[in-house]
Structure 1
Amino acid sequence: MILLLVAVNAAAQTGQGSLRGYVKDEQGGAVPGATITATSAALIQPATAVTDSEGYYRLINLPPGTYSIAAELTGFASYKREEILLRAGATFQVDVTMKIGTLQETVTVSGDSPMLEVSKPSNVLNISGEFQRDMPIQARRNWSDFLEITPGVHSRPFDDGSGRMVYFGHSTEHFAHVIQLEGAIASNYQDAQVTYVAMGADMIDDVQVKTGGVDASAPMGVGLNINVITKSGGNQFKGSAAFAYQSKDMNGDNVKNCSPSPGCNPSASPGVGTPTTALVKQFDGGLGGPIKRDRVWFFGSLRRADLESGISRTAEEVGRLKTFFPDVTLFNNTTKSWQPYGKVTAKLTPSHELAAFVQQDRLLATGDREYHYSRAVMYSTGGGLYGGKLTSVWGQKITTTLLAAYNNKGGSNASTYEGFPGAGPTITIHNAANLQGGRLVGTGRLVSGGNFDDGTGSAGQAAISYLPSSQVTLRADLTYFKDGWAGSHEFQTGFFGSPRSTYDTETIYLNDGFILEERRKVDPA
C-alpha cells in the first residue's frame, strides 16, 4: 500500500490529460469570468471551466483526442481554437487572447502548432493506436511492436521459438515492467513481461510509455512504465475489421544470394532442413457507438490469432530425427488465442464519468526445439482483467479518480495440455555417456521427446506445472488546485493498494513418476 503527496500530475497514470492556460485581453490584462468550453468526438459531453481572478482556467480529466476550445464573455468577441491534439496523460497550455466585440463575432485560430508538456519533466513517448494500425512493424502486429522504435529500449526474440519479442529498459530484467490498461495493472502477477500481455490493435486509442523520470504516482517498477488507453465509442456508430494473412511462400530467404555449394544451399543437399518461417492468420475487428447519445457509449473489439512459427532445423538435425524415428512428422510451433475487449462509458452528471471494462488475452502456445521428435513444450499465458473507473470534478479546485480492478492472468492450467497425449517417460538420445555419481549421464543431446518437457532445455523433465495467479488493485488520486500563493499551485495525493497478489505453482509428475529414459548410441559392430 502506498500513500503519497506529490506535486506532479497524478491523472496521467489513468490516462487522463488536461488543457489549461491564461485568458487575457489585447493589452495583456487578465480576463476573469470567461467561460471556456472544450468539445471533441472523444467527449460524451463538452467540458467547461470558468477563468479565475487571474484569468486562469483548467480543463481536466480529458481523454486523448482532438479538441476545439471556445472562450466566451460578454463584451468580448467569441474565441475559438481548433485542432488541438491531446495525448494520453499529457498537460498542454493553451493561452487565449480575447478582443473587444460582441459574442456574435468569433475569432477563430486554426493550424498546427506544437503542444509542449508543461506539468512534469519526464521521458515520455506517446504512440497512437492509429499509428500502430497503419504502420505495422512486424507481421504479427502485436500491440507492443512500438517498443521496437522507442529510444532506450532494446529487444531480442523470445526463446520459445514463437517469434515474439522480449523488451528491456533501464538495463533491467524483461519482467520488471509496469503495464497498465486504463490505469489498472494488466500484466501477469507471476511474470510481468510485455510479451505476456496481448490485445488487438483495434481497441487502442493511445499508449504512453515512460522510460525515465517516472513520477511518484506511478506503480513501482524498475523497468518501463506503460499505460494503454482504450477507445470508448462515440455518438456515431463506427467499426473496422481487418484480416492479416501470411503464408509460407510469403517468407523470404537468402538462398538465391547463396553460393552454389551444397552446404550453403540446403535444397541442393541430400537432406533438407526446415527454415524459421512465420505463418499468420489473424482477424481484428472493433465496433463502437452510443447506447444513449450524449450519455452512454460502448466499444468492443476482438482479435483471433492463429499463428505458426517454423522451427529452424539444419539438414543434419532433420536427419537425426528421421534416423531414430523414421515415422516422425516435422511440425511448427503454434500460438492460438482469442482476445476480446469490452468497455462501457457513462456520463453520470456533467462532473462525474464512470467507465467499466473487461479484457481477455488467454493464449495457448508451443515452444518446441529442433531436437524434439514429438510435441513436448506447451504453455499458456494471460487471462482476464475486470475494472471500473470513476473520474470526478468537484468545482474548480478538486478532481478525483477512483479505480478498482481484478486480474486473474496467470500461466498454464489443465486446459493447456488438452490434446497433447504424452505417454511414457521422456526419451532422450545422447551422443555419448559417462559415469557420474554412480550413474550414467548422457551428454550431447541428439533428439528428445515422448512426453512433456519443461522447456528449459534440461532433459527428462516429464512434468507439468499449473501456475494460477491473481491480483486486486485499488487506487485513488486527488488533485487540489490553490491560487494566491504567489501563483497557481497543484497538490496531489494518492492511494495505491493491492490487497490480493498471489501466484501458485503445482507440479504434476507424469507416468507415475517414471519420467526419464536415457539412451546412448552404440556401434552395431
Structure 2
Amino acid sequence: MFKQIIPFILFIILISSKIYAQGISTGSISGQINNQEEEPLVDANVTAIHQPTMTEYNTISRNNGRYNLPNLKIGGPYTLKFSYVGYQKVVRDSIYVDLGQNRLISVEMLEKADQMQEVEVVGQKDPYEDASAGINTNISKDDLNNLPSLDRSFKEFTRLTPQKGEGLSFAGRNNFYNNLTVDGSLLNNSFGLSPLPGGQTNAQPLSLDAIQSVKVALTPYNVTQSGFTGSGINLVTRSGTNQFKGSVYSYFRSANLVGNKVDDTELETKDFNRRQYGFRAGGPIVED
C-alpha cells in the first residue's frame, strides 16, 4: 500500500514546485505613512483604485507606518487614497505600475484644523520609487503600439534590452536557457527544436494584439523569478475595461520593398509577398 502512495506523493510535490516556479504577472505599491513630526501612523487606511476597471485594493499601515498593496493589475492609472482619523485625506493620481515593479509612494499626513490655511503642495519624483533590483527591461503597451515591427512578434521588441544578442540570446547565453511565461504560466518549447513554440512553422506563440506588456529579466534579485540563466521573458495579456475598445490592422511586405545591393555587391533576393490582416475588440461583460 505504501509503495502505491509514493508515486502519488511525488506527483503532488512535482506539481507544487511547478506552480511555485511560475512567473509574475502583477505589480505592487508600498511606502511609508508619517505625520508632520515624521512619526509613523499605525492603521492608516490605504485604497488604490484601478481607474479603467474601478477595481479597489485596500490595506492598512503596520506598526512602523509601512503599507503594502501586492498583486495589482499592471498599467493604470491608479488613484491612491490615504485616510486617518484626525488627519486630512491625501490623494495621489495618475500612478502607473509596471510588470513586477514595486512603486514606492510615501506620504506625510497633516492634522485637521478648524480653520484651513493656505497649503502649498509640492510634488517631486521619488528617486527610489522602484524598489525592484537587478537588470530588467519593461516594454509597455505604448511601446508595443508605437514602435515599428516587421514580423509582428514580441521578439522584435526584446531588442530594447541592451544585453540582447542574436535571436533570443541574452547576456551571451544560448536561447534554450531562457524561460518564457504568459501571465505567469510556462510556455517553453519542450522539444528544444526552437526557442519558441511554433518557431519551426514561422508562427507566433501569441498574437501581438493580445499582449499588454513584456518584461525581460536578466538578473532579478527576486525569489519568485527563477528557472533560467539567460533571461526570463514574461508576457502579460490584455484584459477588458469599462470601455469598449478595438483596433484594425493591415501589414504588407513584398520583394519590392527589400534591397538587393550592398555597395557594389548585388544580392540574390527571393520573390515573396506577405499580407496580414486582423482586428481586436474588448469591453466589459459586467461593468466594475
TM-score, with length taken from structure 1: 0.45
- 5+ residue gaps, structure 2, are 1-13
CA distance in 2, matches of 1:194, 1:44: 36
**Aligned equivalent of 1:145, options 151, 156, 165:** 156
CA distance in 2, matches of 1:110, 1:43: 27
Task: Indicate yes or no: 2:86 matched with 1:75.
Answer: yes
| Counterpart for residue 274 of structure 2 | 280
CA distance in 2, matches of 1:3, 1:215: 19
Judged with a 3 Å threshold, the aligned counterparts in structure 2 of structure 1 residues 13 and 72 are, in CA distance, closer, same or farther, namely: same
**Aligned equivalent of 2:241, options 223, 234, 240:** 234
| Counterpart for residue 193 of structure 1 | 195
CA distance in 2, matches of 1:183, 1:276: 40
- 5+ residue gaps, structure 1, are 5-9, 156-165, 259-263, 266-272, 295-525
Q: Could you tell me how far 1:40 is from its partner in structure 2? A: 2.0
| Counterpart for residue 74 of structure 2 | 64
| Counterpart for residue 340 of structure 1 | none
SS of equivalent residue, structure 1 residue 145: helix
Q: Which has the larger radius of gyration?
A: 1
Task: Indicate yes or no: 2:41 matched with 1:31.
Answer: yes
Q: Which amino acid aligns with 1:145?
A: E
Judged with a 3 Å threshold, the aligned counterparts in structure 2 of structure 1 residues 225 and 51 are, in CA distance, closer, same or farther, namely: same
Q: How many residues align?
A: 263
Judged with a 3 Å threshold, the aligned counterparts in structure 2 of structure 1 residues 151 and 198 are, in CA distance, closer, same or farther, namely: same
Superposed CA offset, 1:159-189 (max 9, x none): xxxxxxx221243322221000000011221
Judged with a 3 Å threshold, the aligned counterparts in structure 2 of structure 1 residues 148 and 46 are, in CA distance, closer, same or farther, namely: same
| Counterpart for residue 134 of structure 2 | 122
Judged with a 3 Å threshold, the aligned counterparts in structure 2 of structure 1 residues 92 and 107 are, in CA distance, closer, same or farther, namely: farther
Judged with a 3 Å threshold, the aligned counterparts in structure 2 of structure 1 residues 107 and 74 are, in CA distance, closer, same or farther, namely: farther
Superposed CA offset, 1:267-290 (max 9, x none): xxxxxx841566431224222211
Superposed CA offset, 1:272-317 (max 9, x none): x8415664312242222111111xxxxxxxxxxxxxxxxxxxxxxx
Q: Could you tell me how far 1:22 is from its partner in structure 2? A: 0.9
| Counterpart for residue 101 of structure 2 | 90
| Counterpart for residue 224 of structure 1 | 231
| Counterpart for residue 290 of structure 1 | 284
SS of equivalent residue, structure 2 residue 142: helix
Judge conservation of contact 2:48–2:81 (CA < 8 Å) in 1: yes
Q: Could you tell me how far 1:202 is from its partner in structure 2? A: 1.7
Pick the structure with more helix per residue. 2
SS of equivalent residue, structure 2 residue 43: coil
| Counterpart for residue 370 of structure 1 | none
Judged with a 3 Å threshold, the aligned counterparts in structure 2 of structure 1 residues 183 and 42 are, in CA distance, closer, same or farther, namely: farther
Pick the structure with more strand per residue. 1
SS of equivalent residue, structure 2 residue 282: strand
**Aligned equivalent of 1:40, options 46, 50, 54:** 50
Tell me the percent identity. Answer: 22
Higher-RCO chain (CA-CA 8 Å, sequence separation at least 6): 2
Q: Could you tell me how far 1:12 is from its partner in structure 2? A: 9.2
Q: Which moved more, 1:192-201 or 1:52-61?
A: 192-201
Q: Which amino acid aligns with 2:214?
A: V
Q: Which amino acid aligns with 2:228?
A: G
Superposed CA offset, 1:200-240 (max 9, x none): 22221111111124644334223211111111111111112
TM-score, with length taken from structure 2: 0.79
Question: What is the RMSD of the two structures over their aligned residues, measured on CA atoms?
Answer: 3.0
Judge conservation of contact 1:42–1:65 (CA < 8 Å) in 2: no
| Counterpart for residue 50 of structure 1 | 60
CA distance in 1, matches of 2:284, 2:121: 30
Superposed CA offset, 1:348-368 (max 9, x none): xxxxxxxxxxxxxxxxxxxxx
Judged with a 3 Å threshold, the aligned counterparts in structure 2 of structure 1 residues 29 and 111 are, in CA distance, closer, same or farther, namely: closer
Q: Which amino acid aligns with 1:184?
A: S
Judge conservation of contact 1:82–1:111 (CA < 8 Å) in 2: no
Q: Could you tell me how far 1:114 is from its partner in structure 2? A: 5.2
Q: Could you tell me how far 1:254 is from its partner in structure 2? A: 2.9
CA distance in 1, matches of 2:127, 2:242: 29
CA distance in 2, matches of 1:212, 1:277: 43
**Aligned equivalent of 2:23, options 3, 9, 13:** 13
CA distance in 2, matches of 1:2, 1:151: 35
Task: Please identify runs of 4+ aligned residues in structure 1 that moved more than 4 A.
Answer: 105-115
CA distance in 2, matches of 1:178, 1:3: 18
After superposition, residues 109-188 of structure 1 pair within 5 angstroms as 116-118=129-131, 120-136=132-148, 138-155=149-166, 166-188=167-189
Judge conservation of contact 1:38–1:48 (CA < 8 Å) in 2: yes
CA distance in 2, matches of 1:198, 1:114: 37
Judged with a 3 Å threshold, the aligned counterparts in structure 2 of structure 1 residues 102 and 135 are, in CA distance, closer, same or farther, namely: farther
Q: Could you tell me how far 1:107 is from its partner in structure 2? A: 8.7
CA distance in 1, matches of 2:32, 2:185: 33
After superposition, residues 114-513 of structure 1 pair within 5 angstroms as 116-118=129-131, 120-136=132-148, 138-155=149-166, 166-191=167-192, 193-194=195-196, 196=199, 197-213=204-220, 215-254=222-261, 258=264, 264=265, 274-276=268-270, 279-294=273-288
CA distance in 1, matches of 2:282, 2:71: 21
Q: Which amino acid aligns with 1:208?
A: K
CA distance in 2, matches of 1:282, 1:113: 44
Judged with a 3 Å threshold, the aligned counterparts in structure 2 of structure 1 residues 53 and 79 are, in CA distance, closer, same or farther, namely: same
